[in-house]
Each structure stands twice: as C-alpha cells, then as structure tokens.
C-alpha cells in the first residue's frame, strides 16, 4: 500500500498571498503547501480523497493518471473546488467515476456542480465535462469501493460533520475538532494515522497542534503524520518539537505501508 500526499496545507495554502513570514518566504520546498488531498494505492487500485483547487497540478506532480474512485470528506471549498479537474481522468478512462462521501456533502456537490453529476446534462459536440456518480456512505459501515474495504467515520468539524476514512492499516482524518471515543476504538492497531493540526493555539473548527498530539497519542498509531498545516511554523521547526512517532507531512511525500 502507498499513501501519496498531494497537498498538506490549510485553506489559505502556503505561502499565503501577501505574507512575508519565515514560512511563506522559506526556500525549503516542504514549506510550499497546497490544499489537502491524498491518494491511497492498494490492491492495484487508487482512491483519491478530496479534490482541492490545485488538483491538476498535484496529480501531474505525483504522476497520477488514473483513479478508481474519489472520496470526499466534506464540501468546503478548499476540499472540493478542483472537482472539474477530474474531467481529464473520466475522459482518459472513458468511464463515469464513482464519488463517495457523506450524503449531505454529495447533495451539496450535486447542487453546486449539476453538470458533473447529472447524466442528462449534455455538452455541445466537440466539448467535454467530468462524469461522476454520487454514492452516499453511512458512517461506521465498511463498504467495498473499487474492491477495497473502506470504513467511513463521522467526525465533528465545529457544528459540521466531516468523514474520515480508514483503509486497512491507514486512516485519514482532516478538518476535525475532536476524536469521539467510538472513533478511537475504530482506529485500533493503525500503522499510519493522518491527522489535521492547524495552529499552536486553539481553533473552533480544527485540532490545534497540542490537541492533535494528544489525539494521536490516544489513538496510538505506529506513525502519525500531520496535515492541513498553516504558515504558523516551518516544516523544520514543527518537526523539531513533535514527539518521535509524529511528524509533519509535506506535499509529495510518499509512504509505503504493509497492507493487511
């Protein structure tokens, strides 16, 4: 199994427009953070989680030219507004791409982007559009997606619900404010946990870095990678202050995990 970090930044991205802080002006390529997404490769299949605004650039950089399904965590702009870039994949594969996620998220995406999800929407000859089909998931119920067992998990993002996903020994949780006890139990014996860690100070919608460290230690994965990072700290500075089993991810990082 491979986990490919396409993007690891917060909704502003890093560098932020007009900012001259040490992170935004850093020459370390790990401090250039596009909006969050990952690809999970296993059993010869590829699952894409979220479609951020930089998706085309991310997929080109990672040499990803095919996916078998897309999973959405929630419908906030920094996680979905690259959805039109899936047109290149649905055209290349000559197939409708299945899209999975919370029912409310898929309903919002269908309303925002009807031309993508409505097969009755026909484009003019000589033009094209993305082709997706919506498949709502029930949290806590494992479902087979492209021959891969996936467990969706419901998590709080302030007053909103987001989905995290466990795929075998890997779990991807982003934009969460807390980890309910039931979710901790569902994340037992993880090899890799990906978890959002926004700022050093508390935030109403996201785990802070200290809160994320505590959550990671409570879950007890062998290795935890932080994502959805701001310009609050450089990669090097953040890595230096984290416990040995926890590290900041960065755009382009690829992790190989023994599948179970």
Query: From CA 168, how far away is CA 165, in angstroms rounded?
Result: 10
pLDDT band at 252 (very low <50, low <70, confident <90, very high): very high
Q: Residue 260 — very low, low, confident or very high, per pLDDT cuts 50/70/90?
A: low
Q: Are strands 246-248 and 223-227 parallel, antiparallel or unpaired?
A: parallel
| Dist CA 67 CA 88 (whole Å) | 11
pLDDT of residue 157: 84
The reply to whether the predicted model has a pTM over 0.85 is yes
pLDDT over 90 (residue 246):
yes
Overall domain count for the chain: 1
> DSSP assignment, residue 185?
H
Residues near 98 by Cβ (< 8 Å), separated by ≥ 6? Answer: 68, 69, 70, 132, 133, 135, 145, 146
CATH code for the domain in which residue 192 is found? 3.60.15.10
Which is more confident, 126 or 51? 51
DSSP state, 34? P
% of the chain beyond a pLDDT of 90: 91
Residue 120 in 3-state DSSP? coil
Residue entry with tokens 């296993």: 42
* Lowest mean per-residue pLDDT among 71-85, 146-160, 237-251: 146-160
Half-sphere exposure of 26 (CA within 13 A, CB side): 19
**pLDDT of 12 higher than 70:** yes
The pLDDT score that the predictor gives to residue 122 is 87
Q: Which residue has the higher pLDDT, 157 or 225?
A: 225
The range of the structural domain enclosing residue 161 comes to 2-256
Q: Residue 158: what pLDDT?
A: 81
pLDDT tier for residue 259 given thresholds of 50, 70 and 90: low
Q: What DSSP assignment string belongs to 230-243? A: -SSS-HHHHHHTS-
> Nearest Cα to 136, choosing from 168, 158, 104, 113?
104
Angstrom CA distances, 65 to 7, 17, 20, 70, 85, stand at 17, 30, 35, 13, 12
pLDDT bracket for residue 58 (50, 70, 90): very high
**How far apart (Å, rounded) are the C-alpha atoms in residues 149 and 138?**
14
């Amino acid at each position: 199994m491979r986990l490919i970090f396409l993007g690891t930044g917060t909704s502003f991205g890093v560098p932020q427009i007009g900012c001259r802080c040490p992170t935004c002006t850093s020459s370390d390529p790990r401090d250039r953070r596009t909006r969050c997404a990952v690809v999970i490769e296993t059993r010869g299949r590829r699952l894409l989680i979220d479609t951020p605004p930089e998706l085309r650039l991310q997929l080109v950089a990672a040499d990803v030219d095919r996916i078998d399904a897309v999973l959405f965590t929630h419908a906030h702009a920094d996680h979905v507004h690259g959805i039109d870039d899936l047109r290149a994949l649905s055209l290349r594969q000559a197939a409708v791409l299945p899209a999975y996620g919370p029912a409310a998220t898929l309903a919002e995406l269908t309303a925002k982007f009807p031309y993508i999800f409505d097969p009755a929407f026909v484009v003019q000859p000589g033009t094209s559009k993305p082709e997706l089909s919506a498949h709502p998931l029930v949290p806590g119920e494992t479902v087979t997606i492209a021959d891969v067992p996936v467990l969706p998990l419901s998590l709080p993002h302030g007053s909103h619900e987001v989905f995290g996903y466990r795929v075998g020994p890997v779990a991807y949780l982003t934009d969460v404010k807390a980890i309910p006890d039931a979710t901790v139990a569902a994340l037992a014996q993880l090899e890799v946990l990906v978890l959002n860690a926004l700022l050093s100070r508390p935030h109403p919608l996201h785990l802070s870095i200290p809160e994320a460290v505590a959550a990671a230690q409570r879950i007890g994965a062998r290795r935890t990678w932080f994502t959805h990072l701001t310009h609050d700290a450089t990669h090097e500075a953040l890595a230096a202050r984290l416990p040995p089993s926890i590290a900041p991810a960065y755009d382009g990082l690829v992790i190989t995990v023994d599948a179970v």
